[in-house]
Amino acid sequence: MRLFVSSLCFGLSLLVAAVVPTRADAEFMRRTSEDALVHWDRPTVRLPIDPNLATIYGPEIYDALADAADAWALDSGVPRIELVFEGTPEEHAAAAAEKGNWIGVITENWPYGDQLAVTVSTIGAQSGRLVSTQVWINAQRPLALEVSGEDHRYDLRGVLTHELGHVLGLGEAEHAPEATMYPTFRRGETRQRTLARSDELAVTNLYAIFDVQFLSTSCAASPIPRTTGTRAFLVGISGLVAGYGRTRRRRRGRRPHR
């Protein structure tokens, strides 16, 4: 029996070696200060939607959100985003306290500079496990569900697809201008609605790593360390900046969770 277990461990460690991130994927993946890859450890991520989004952008926002979630529904072990179309006031309050998942809109006193949208994530620093994510859309910027090449507005569908990539744990792909996860949007441009091959590979490779590592950990019979103290959590903010014909760097924000 012991022999069987060690052979299994050996096989699994070979698999782990085979799926370490490539240099190209590494740019899309986020790491905590403890060098852990950011990820969910559950098959489904429930994401309540603020009803105010439909008030501001029309009921078509629900189809746009479903399309954005579908873009990331790649099977291959990537968690599925389960949209909850009528988020409750209680869920909103939890999200405002960075304690629950949410996709919402801020209509005044936007606190994140000139960003079109941000995703705020709470992450276990040692494990890299996502605890909660909140997407906030900046209603003070010109965002629309239907834009064209000459439009002065930004494509909200592309913005939603980009932010859901952050919800799944991806970071900004600053050197991949073809990608949905490229952090800059230009007015009237719609290409970020559709994932590039590099987006797909990054997210499927990320979750392939965790499929195998969970098996490997249970095989070694060593429990995954739990990080319960507030100091172990980071809040990472991934912001999306508007492009003005040249590339602008996003702001980087990372601060201890209080």
Give the distance from CA 175 to its chain's centroid. Answer: 18
Which member of 69, 123, 240, 241 binds Zn ion (CB under 5 A)? 240
**To the nearest whole angstrom, how small is the minimum distance from the Cβ of residue 212 to Zn ion?**
27
Is residue 126 within 8 Å of 135, Cβ to Cβ?
Answer: no
**Rounded (10°) angle between helices 2-18 and 197-219:** 160
x-marked contacts with Zn ion along 179-198 as a string, rule CB under 5 A: ----x---------------
Pick the closer one to Zn ion by CB: 12 or 165: 165
Q: What is the 3-state secondary structure (H, E, C) of 90-121?
A: HHHHHHHCCCCCEEEEECCCCCCCCCCEEEEE
Which member of 98, 180, 238, 242 binds Zn ion (CB under 5 A)? 238
x-marked contacts with Zn ion along 94-113 as a string, rule CB under 5 A: --------------------
Pick the closer one to Zn ion by CB: 51 or 243: 243
DSSP, res 56: H
∠ CA 160-194-20, rounded to 5°: 95
Pairing of strands 44-48, 80-84: parallel
Question: Which stretch in 96-104, 133-141, 218-226, 234-242 sits in contact with Zn ion by CB under 5 A?
Answer: 234-242
x-marked contacts with Zn ion along 145-184 as a string, rule CB under 5 A: ---------------------------x----------x-
Residues that bind Zn ion (CB under 5 A): 172, 183, 238, 240
